[in-house]
Chain A
Amino acid sequence: MSQKVLLSATEINIILHRLACQLLENHLDFSNTVLIGIQPRGTFVAERLEKILREEYKVKHIDVGFLDITFYRDDFRRGDKTLEATATKINFLIEDKNVVLIDDVLYTGRSINAALTALQSFGRPKDVELLALIDRRFSRHLPIQPNYRGRQVDAINDEKVKVLWKENDGKDVIYLINK
């Protein structure tokens, strides 16, 4: 197993700022926009973006929610392990809102498909956009593309993209791991 650094902490920070600006450009004051981080690891991206928007771009209020997709996944009973759930925290209605789904790595698109189904339990959004920090090109199983992408990578199927966060793993870094 070998691993190489795909993005360093500085690069991640620059990319997060760019993504925040792109969100601002389209959603201005976020009065009708909600950010939804997909559990378990999209939530870190969502929280970072919210922090940047609030502290550096003075957006007064942004609704941020966490969505667990375990019970909506299409691979139930198909793997060896029981799919373990994490918490959903969405304390607002998404009816008629602009929803930005946020995940760390976009790979096959199946998680996003499950997230779109899961979202239906919380109302009918006005529209849904997708933000992915890392977009793994050429590996999609479904016709799903991000509206905002941090970095596009060409990773072959044996490789894995691993995103670490300071608040959870001690440092900000993204690795490309060759199994």
Chain B
Amino acid sequence: MSELSVNHLLGIKYLKESDIQLIFETADHFKEVINRSIKKVPSLRDITIANIFFENSTRTKLSFELAEKRLSADVINFSAGQSSVKKGETLIDTVNNILSMKVDMVVMRHPNPGAGIFLSKHVNAAIVNAGDGAHEHPTQALLDSYSIREKLGDVANKNVVIVGDILHSRVALSNILALKLQGANVKVCGPKTLIPKYIESLGVEVETDLVNALNWCDVANMLRIQNERLDISYFPTTREYTQQFGVNKKLLNSLGKEIVIMHPGPINRGVEITSDVADSKQSIILNQVENGVAIRMAVIYLLASKIK
């Protein structure tokens, strides 16, 4: 097994366990590359990649762009804010226009779930999903699992709790799928209003008490409350949310064991985690960011090698 079983990265749902291992092994090599004084390799010098973002993003876009440049690909960037999308152009037309300029791969973020899958059926390029609505964010899940593997040696049989807004989070869904695929035990924790009804069908347990969840877990992945996606009031106030589901240093110290704290960013300091937790040595938040570049290099490299 030395190549991916897929031609696009649309979601963790479409990957096999062996694909994840191949991505991790390749990322190990790229991590060594990005820690050299000269951080660039020439592999993708004849590949052009378009980063198409129909939704705001800072770190994911930067991380993808850096990964592409470290592989020597040519990169073009497109943000919906400044484009003809506002003038009424359809998604397929927009992307086909870009592809006419001889682009080989499209990295796309879109507010609608399934946008990447739709695109992959209609255009001739490798598609990487960089987040589609509340559906999936596969590279984030891969870098999260990779960071757990780096910190704890393995993902299998580890207890991972995902805390926060599970309902609106693409990070949560992709993470659950990726963790289950690798044999981890997963619980979700948050206000009942923000936990999807049929979440148990994914093989995860629901825990509404944060202290119980933290006592059970090896790793806690703290999600941000996505105020921009909350159309109605799911909990009374942010302060009440913090009191029930926020992690502070006192709570961590009371656990009697050292758990790993993760966060996909951006952090709302003082809401889901306090500053002393985010900056503590238990937190691997900045490692996640560094690993993000290595993982994205691996995904792009492996997908690009299937473009003939």
Contacts and interface: CB of A to CB of B under 8 A. Distances in A.
Contacts of B302: 82
B29 A120 contact: no
Interface in A79-136: 81-88, 117, 120-123
Given A82-B305, A85-B29, A87-B32, A72 B41 contact: yes
B121 interface: no
B36 interface: yes
Chain B interface category by residue count: 20 to 34
A82 B32 CA distance: 20
B33 A77 contact: no
A121 B38 CA distance: 5
Interface in A37-91: 68, 70-73, 76-77, 81-88
B307 interface: yes
Contacts of A88: 29, 32-33
Given A76-B43, A81-B2, A83-B305, A121 B29 contact: no
B304 A77 contact: yes
B36 A72 contact: no
Most buried by B among A70, A83, A84, A117: A84
A71 B41 CA distance: 6
Given A77-B308, A82-B306, A122-B36, A87 B29 contact: yes
B26 interface: yes
Contacts of B32: 87-88
Nearest to B33: A71
Contacts of B4: 82
A99 to B, nearest CB: 16
Interface in B248-274: none
Interface of A: 68, 70-73, 76-77, 81-88, 117, 120-123
Q: Top 8 nearest A-B pairs by Cβ distance?
A: A71-B41, A82-B3, A121-B38, A82-B305, A85-B29, A71-B43, A84-B2, A76-B43
